[in-house]
Structure 1
């Protein structure tokens, strides 16, 4: 089943929410593929990167986010774990882990406890290069109305992450050195 067909299946009658998430995810996928091409010297699964990027926000279908035309019962922060459940049920365990691990630059057990997040207390951070690529690409795009088509600058990405502590920016800097070294000093 194609990623778009899976999104349609899980969003059901919510065409507006589905289209919004798909448009965001398409931009994330294009950015992720561009990042992957800068790492052509490394063995990367480009098909997986594209599919995972297109599905990383499938869990939004089940959250309460009226601005995104989604009226589920779960808080928005739960879209990662909900997406994992949905994609595991679809037989896509690798894609499911991207859903769970793509929030910010990942969530640690300490983050979950300190912020009192309604999430299971486990590490939810990207563990492989493909997961980091999708997560990094996602940082550059918002689903907020009026901002959907705009790619954030690296300075904006850093500022967004700094709200959660300098250690989150440090993770980003490590990813930039690994995946996009020409941007690391920007």
Structure 2
């Protein structure tokens, strides 16, 4: 699969939004590949890590987040499930799961219902090691400060308002992947 060709299909114009998506996604891919290099014992699928990292945020153009040039009409939290729908329709169900499961440290069905989140009612927690690694890598990079990698401490602070479950999951990933 050619992840960049798929991005070009949905982002045909060279503009700031496409730039943000590509720079952010490349940073996530590089971080995920660093984890694979540090942990050969995990037998991670490097090609899949790179492709799925590049595609994980493909749905952002459908959302409303003007600060990062997203001028769609859906809430930003929907970008994962919206992107998953696009990627699934293109015939890549495994890549679609990464799109769907990378928000925060993943969203449980319980959390979705409890917080009345406007996403499909199903577990959206990263399951495979590759899904976990991409979700982990994504937490280190924002779309507003493309030139910086966040520290572990800063990531933990950013996750804290969303509950202890996500903080604990990230800490487990730090022990496993760093």
* TM-score, normalised relative to structure 2: 0.95
Supply the distance in 2 between the matched residues of 1:72 and 1:42 (Cα, whole angstroms): 38
What corresponds to 1:151 in structure 2? Answer: 149
Counterpart for residue 126 of structure 2: 126
For structure 1, the 5+ residue unaligned runs are 181-186
Q: Distance in 2 between matches of 1:169 and 1:92?
A: 30
Residues 8, 15 of structure 1: 8 Å contact kept:
no
Kindly indicate whether residue 3 of structure 2 is the aligned counterpart of residue 3 of structure 1.
yes
Separation in structure 2 between the aligned mates of residue 109 and residue 14 of structure 1, nearest angstrom: 37
Post-superposition shift, 1:2? 2.2
Question: Would you say the 8 A contact 1:105–1:125 is kept in 2?
Answer: yes
How far apart are the structure 1 equivalents of 2:43 and 2:32? 15
Q: By how many angstroms is 1:12 displaced?
A: 3.0
Deviations 1:45-64 (A, max 9, x none): 00000010010000002111
Extract structure 1 runs of 4+ deviating beyond 6 A: none
The number of aligned residues is: 178
| Structure with greater helix share of residues | 2
> Within 1, Cα distance between the matches of 2:168 and 2:162?
11
The answer on whether the counterparts of 1:31 and 1:137 sit within 8 Å (CA) in structure 2 is: yes
1:138 paired residue number: 138
TM-score by length of 1: 0.91
1:4-43 residue CA offsets vs partner (Å, 9 max, x unmatched): 2211211233632111101000000000100111111221
Q: Give me the whole-angstrom Cα distance separating, in 1, the residues matched to 2:11 and 2:160.
A: 32
Write the distance in 1 (CA, Å) between the matches of 2:5 and 2:16. Answer: 15
Q: Which sections of structure 2, spanning at least 5 residues, go unmatched? A: none
